[in-house]
Amino acid sequence: MLPADCSRRLVAELRDALDSCAQRQRQLERSLRVSRRLLRAWEPAETPVPEPTPGPETDEKVPSSACSPSPQDLKELELLTQVLEKAVRVRKGISKAGGDKDPSVKSESLAASPATRASTRLRASGWTGSHASETKHPRGIRQTRVPAKDLSERRLVSVEDPTCMGRGARAAKVEPRHRSQQIVPLAAPQAREVFTLKDKGILLQLPMAFRKAASQNSRLWAQLSSTHTSDSGDAATTAKNHFLQKMQTTSGWPSSRLSPAEVEAEVGRLRKACSLLRLRMGKELTADPKDWMQEYRCLLTLEGLQALVGQCLHRLQELRTAVVEQQLGPWPEGRLPRASSPCGGGADTIRSPPLLLYSSTQELQTLAALRLRVAMLNQQIHLEKVLMAELLPLVREQEPLGPPWLALCRAVHSLLCEGGERFLTILREDEPAD
Amino acid sequence: MGRRRRRRVDPADAARALPEAIAVLTRTLPTGPSPETFRRAKFDRPEAAPALWRLLFCVLSPMPADGASPSLALEAQARSVKAALRFQGYPRRALAQLPDDGSQGGRELLLALAWLLARGPTLEQLLAQSRVRLGDEMPVCECESLASPGPAVPSVEADGCVDTRHLQWLMGKLRFRWRKLMASQQEQCALLGKIHSYTRGCHSDRSLGHLSVTETELLRDPEGGQQLLQRLERENVRLEAALEWRRRELVFWQWMDTVLGACPPEASQPTFLPEIPAQGAAELELVVRELQALQEELQAAVEPRRAAWEARVGGHGPEWSASRRALQEAVRQDLVALQWAWERGGGLTQPHEPHRLVRTEAGAPEGRGLQATEVIEVLRSREACLEVVLGQLQGQCRQELARLVGTLPGLIWIPPPGR
């Protein structure tokens, strides 16, 4: 068993690591839910302000705003449906003989028989072909939003396929059936049936209000960053500095004091210095000098690194003496972690977000995986250092070198040297039997 | 009446300038208090205090990334503000002495706000933090606080002694979570790739080409889309106000001078040392220890090499010293560059902000943004570096343990297989 304070610190560190992992997982899960939902079938939103329809072609594709159908239209639809239901049945019989390409679709359509009627009703509306009365229908039906749309529309598509001579693409199915242009607007309700991003994603269009706001947004951000870099407020800057100066002098604190934030930042820099210096040392030590010049250079570099380490240590000693440890007690519930975000603290944040271009899903996955791997390694290194700082002294201090100590050694070895994944074996050499 | 007032500032204008400037300021702040609050604060009226405490809390705490944090009571907010200001080195002692219940201190709080505004691009940073993100963003730097979390909150359970097995169990759990994270991340990337390729050509901005998840989502869910639009519009209002603030802020700073002047001077403080939180002190010690260890290793490496070198250097000619000097200079510059790497944060070429993901055809014209291939290269080399570091650390431990155990006779250590 480990001593209490050591246990507490180590457990706290590991729990921190687990928590930050869990937090990332939660964020990812949220994004996954949204993305999965987008890739299933859904209804594109009706734009609240009806967009000016540029032409019949667009009508067919862009979901238009809805009005409720007039009873007249519905009655006529009913009539047409009954006529054409018959036609559907006939065609179905023909195509069935010709072999089914979509057995799953078939079962779907069979299962939805009440819906089928409603769907063929809709379908029939598209087949108004050469009827004279249809000139009234196109407009009405274009704006018609069929009430029981969801299930029936979905089933509609599935019924469609076998009658469509096996055409797979749902978007394409509309075209070959309808020659006359008047029929084209009628496709609008059908275009709103099963919408999947895969098939009809390229037909989407962002609403106008949003586009305006977004472009204004990026314009304003660009302006904000450009005036920041130019010295538009010289007088203001002077006034600000004057104010800060006065604040400092009236407060009675020496201006040379370091704020805790600055101390922390400096310690962070020196920690980074340590790892960079260590890396460099490793590189020099593994290099194999071939001639006297390389040997001399290696020596000089190592001595230079030594000097730098000395400087860093000196700076740390200065910081240490200039600072006293503060017992802040339990942090208030709304603790302010890293009051200023370490990232993007400069003027660079103020541009519109720069782009990261990728060309394939594979590339994106590699990129994301590497990012996670780097983060994980950073965490592992941090944990390793903490564990080393806590556990090695324990092993050193314990004098009784009996079995408990061996067990501790073995456990510490596994934690520190194998990441807790593997264990070594310790054998005791027994005296020979004789 | 009809007089042109071009050169001379009309006194009425001047009198209006300050309230207008303050009004603009409140428009750009996140929870803008009313301009009246500012006026009251100058005269140290108590009613101004609560609004200013809340504003300072908002300014000093980063926006919660996921979900809204439960709003805190005023006392808790006040305490957090004090701690944060102390952390940043706020000079005035009077603020720390204000009561937490928000019953007084309007003027001190106003001074604190002005101090924060004067010190850095506070307004711009605030705006950037709460910026509406329309694209699918991916950070390009490592600045996420995974390695150095906030101060460790003591766990709820009893602080008993644990066995090393408990630690091993926790590490196994951590490993499992990472694996799960990797798998989820891969799935998310695959989905993103699909969404991007299915919506190509839809975006009004040709340079982007396709929609992002946020944009597609707003087409799927009109209510959510409305909310997003409103957020965008609110942000636009704040941005416009920030731009206007730049034109008007001078009069505000002149006014703040008078506010400061109205304060009684603070008694000169007994010199006492700045404080850092306990966690910062621990980190300092850790770095000291690491550097000391490094120093010992370097010493062990340098001494024999220097001795060997001195032994070899016999009498050499003048060309010898010339090339030596050249080498010395080269090494010196090398090390200066190395030092620069940690002092300046790795150079300004390292991008720090999250980038918007855009799917393009391979071989698209360069110059539009960062290429994923470049970032992958950088990350690979970073990964290799970190693996080396981790390996070194583990090797150190192995040596140390072997040394400690080696004193015992009669034991055979069999290292685990398969490394």
Q: How confident is the model at residue A70 (pLDDT cuts 50, 70, 90)?
A: low
Whether residue B400 lies within 8 A of chain A, CB to CB, comes out as yes
What does the alpha-carbon distance between residue B283 and residue B330 come to, in Å, rounded to a whole number?
Answer: 34
Q: Which residues contact B365 (CB under 8 A, 6 or more apart)?
A: none
The average pLDDT across B230-253 equals 91
Which residue in chain A has the smallest CA separation from B170? A14
Residue A46 pLDDT greater than 60, yes or no: no
The pLDDT score that the predictor gives to residue B233 is 93
Whether residue B151 lies within 8 A of chain A, CB to CB, comes out as yes
The region of weakest confidence among A33-47, A131-145, B10-24 is A131-145
Q: Of A207-216, A243-252, B141-150, B172-181, which one has max mean pLDDT? A: B172-181
State whether A228 and B121 contact (CB < 8 Å): yes
Contact B51, B37 (CB under 8 A): yes
Chain A residues whose CB is inside 8 A of the B370 CB are: 354-357
For all residues of chain B together, what is the average pLDDT? 81
Whether residue B313 lies within 8 A of chain A, CB to CB, comes out as no
| CA of A354 vs chain B CAs: smallest distance (Å) | 5
Contact B16, B84 (CB under 8 A): no
| CA of A346 vs chain B CAs: smallest distance (Å) | 8
- pTM check: above 0.80: no
Nearest to B362 among A243, A337, A359 (CB): A359
Whether residue A377 lies within 8 A of chain B, CB to CB, comes out as yes
| CA of A373 vs chain B CAs: smallest distance (Å) | 7
Which residue in chain A has the smallest CA separation from B157? A8
What does the alpha-carbon distance between residue A167 and residue A197 come to, in Å, rounded to a whole number?
Answer: 19
State whether A278 and B309 contact (CB < 8 Å): no
The pLDDT score that the predictor gives to residue A330 is 31
Nearest to A293 among B194, B323, B415 (CB): B323
Residue B146 pLDDT greater than 60, yes or no: no
Q: How confident is the model at residue B299 (pLDDT cuts 50, 70, 90)?
A: very high
Whether residue A294 lies within 8 A of chain B, CB to CB, comes out as no
Q: How confident is the model at residue A252 (pLDDT cuts 50, 70, 90)?
A: low
Nearest to A312 among B260, B291, B405 (CB): B291
The pLDDT score that the predictor gives to residue B4 is 53
Q: Which two tokens stand for residue B54?
A: 């809340």
Residue A367 pLDDT greater than 80, yes or no: yes
Contact B280, A339 (CB under 8 A): no
| CA of B220 vs chain A CAs: smallest distance (Å) | 5
Interface probe for A, chosen from B57, B86, B167, B204 (most Cβ of A below 10 Å), is B167
Q: What percent of chain B has pLDDT over 90?
A: 20
Residue A57 pLDDT greater than 50, yes or no: no
The pLDDT score that the predictor gives to residue B371 is 87
The region of weakest confidence among A268-277, A339-348, A361-370, B267-276 is A339-348
The sign of the CA dihedral A299, A304, A307, A312 is negative
| CA of B20 vs chain A CAs: smallest distance (Å) | 16
The pLDDT score that the predictor gives to residue A228 is 64
For B314-366, the pLDDT digits (tens) are 656 566 788 888 889 999 999 998 888 888 765 445 666 788 898 887 666 66
State whether A382 and B331 contact (CB < 8 Å): no
Chain A residues whose CB is inside 8 A of the B158 CB are: none
Whether residue B1 lies within 8 A of chain A, CB to CB, comes out as no
The pLDDT score that the predictor gives to residue B11 is 65
Q: Which two tokens stand for residue A69?
A: 């159908």
Q: Which residues contact A277 (CB under 8 A, 6 or more apart)?
A: A305, A308, A309, A312, B294, B338
Q: Which residues contact A110 (CB under 8 A, 6 or more apart)?
A: none
For A394-413, the pLDDT digits (tens) are 888 876 677 788 888 888 88
Distance of alpha carbon B143 from the chain centroid:
7
Which 3-state string (H, E, C) describes A126-163? HCCCCCHHHHHHHHHHHCECCCCHHHHHHHHHHHHHHH
The pLDDT score that the predictor gives to residue A384 is 93
The average pLDDT across B266-290 equals 71
What does the alpha-carbon distance between residue B121 and residue A224 come to, in Å, rounded to a whole number?
Answer: 11
Show the DSSP H helices in A337-402 as ranges. 361-397
Q: What percent of chain A has pLDDT over 70?
A: 60
Which residue in chain A has the smallest CA separation from B75? A332
C-alpha distances in angstroms, B332 versus A271, B325, B326, B327? Answer: 22, 10, 10, 8
Whether residue A49 lies within 8 A of chain B, CB to CB, comes out as no
Whether residue B76 lies within 8 A of chain A, CB to CB, comes out as yes
What does the alpha-carbon distance between residue A289 and residue B305 come to, in Å, rounded to a whole number?
Answer: 12
Which residue in chain B has the smallest CA separation from A314? B288
Long-range pairs for A238-241: beta carbons < 8 A, 24 or more residues apart:
A239/B250, A239/B253, A239/B254, A239/B257, A240/B117, A240/B118, A240/B253, A241/B118
What does the alpha-carbon distance between residue B353 and residue A177 come to, in Å, rounded to a whole number?
Answer: 52
The pLDDT score that the predictor gives to residue A22 is 95
The average pLDDT across B62-90 equals 73
Q: How confident is the model at residue A14 (pLDDT cuts 50, 70, 90)?
A: very high
DSSP A196: B
Residue A379 pLDDT greater than 90, yes or no: yes
Q: Which residues contact A51 (CB under 8 A, 6 or more apart)?
A: A62, A64, A65, A207, A208
Q: Which residues contact A76 (CB under 8 A, 6 or more apart)?
A: A133, A137
Residue A166 pLDDT greater than 80, yes or no: no
Q: How confident is the model at residue B405 (pLDDT cuts 50, 70, 90)?
A: confident
Q: Return the ∠ at Cα B121 (arms to B117 and B122), rounded to 5°.
A: 50
Whether residue B264 lies within 8 A of chain A, CB to CB, comes out as no
ipTM: 0.81
Per the model's pLDDT, the better-predicted residue between B149 and A322 turns out to be: A322
Contact B109, B49 (CB under 8 A): yes
Per-residue burial over A1-22, b if 16 or more Cβ lie within 10 Å, else e, is ebeeebbbbbbbbbbbbeebbe
Residue B10 pLDDT greater than 60, yes or no: yes
The pLDDT score that the predictor gives to residue B419 is 53
Whether residue B165 lies within 8 A of chain A, CB to CB, comes out as yes
Residue type, A416: L
Q: Which residues contact A256 (CB under 8 A, 6 or more apart)?
A: none
Chain A residues whose CB is inside 8 A of the B278 CB are: 325-328
Contact B413, A429 (CB under 8 A): no
Q: How confident is the model at residue A316 (pLDDT cuts 50, 70, 90)?
A: very high
State whether B132 and A217 contact (CB < 8 Å): yes
DSSP string, A244-274: HHHHHHHHTS-TTPPPHHHHHHHHHHHHHHH
Q: Of A194-198, A314-318, A335-339, which one has max mean pLDDT? A: A314-318
Which residue in chain A has the smallest CA separation from B339? A273
**Secondary structure (3-state) at B370:** strand
Residue A96 pLDDT greater than 80, yes or no: no
Parallel/antiparallel/unpaired status of strands B137-138 and B355-359: antiparallel
Contact B246, A296 (CB under 8 A): no
Domain boundaries, chain B: 2-133+238-261
Q: At what angle do helices B213-220 and B222-262 cross, to 10 degrees?
A: 120
The region of weakest confidence among A47-56, A350-359, B181-190 is A47-56
**Secondary structure (3-state) at A95:** helix
Q: How confident is the model at residue B277 (pLDDT cuts 50, 70, 90)?
A: low
The average pLDDT across B11-30 equals 80
State whether A309 and B294 contact (CB < 8 Å): yes
Contact A372, B185 (CB under 8 A): yes
Residue A337 pLDDT greater than 60, yes or no: no
Residue A34 pLDDT greater than 70, yes or no: yes
For B214-237, the pLDDT digits (tens) are 998 888 888 999 999 999 999 999
What does the alpha-carbon distance between residue A361 and residue B198 come to, in Å, rounded to a whole number?
Answer: 13
The average pLDDT across B363-371 equals 73
Which residue in chain A has the smallest CA separation from B250? A236
Q: What percent of chain B has pLDDT over 70?
A: 82
The average pLDDT across A229-248 equals 79
Contact B190, B199 (CB under 8 A): no
State whether A401 and B408 contact (CB < 8 Å): yes
| CA of B36 vs chain A CAs: smallest distance (Å) | 22
Contact B179, B161 (CB under 8 A): no
Nearest to A262 among B89, B297, B373 (CB): B89
Distance of alpha carbon B37 from the chain centroid:
31
For all residues of chain A together, what is the average pLDDT? 70
Dihedral angle at the C-alpha atoms of B147, B151, B152, B154, nearest 10 degrees? -170
Contact A137, A76 (CB under 8 A): yes
Q: How confident is the model at residue A181 (pLDDT cuts 50, 70, 90)?
A: very low
The pLDDT score that the predictor gives to residue A118 is 43
What does the alpha-carbon distance between residue A241 and residue B112 come to, in Å, rounded to a whole number?
Answer: 15
The pLDDT score that the predictor gives to residue B355 is 86
Whether residue B64 lies within 8 A of chain A, CB to CB, comes out as no
Whether residue A265 lies within 8 A of chain B, CB to CB, comes out as no
Chain A residues whose CB is inside 8 A of the B121 CB are: 228, 346-347, 350
Q: How confident is the model at residue A292 (pLDDT cuts 50, 70, 90)?
A: confident
The region of weakest confidence among B97-101, B186-190, B226-230, B395-399 is B97-101
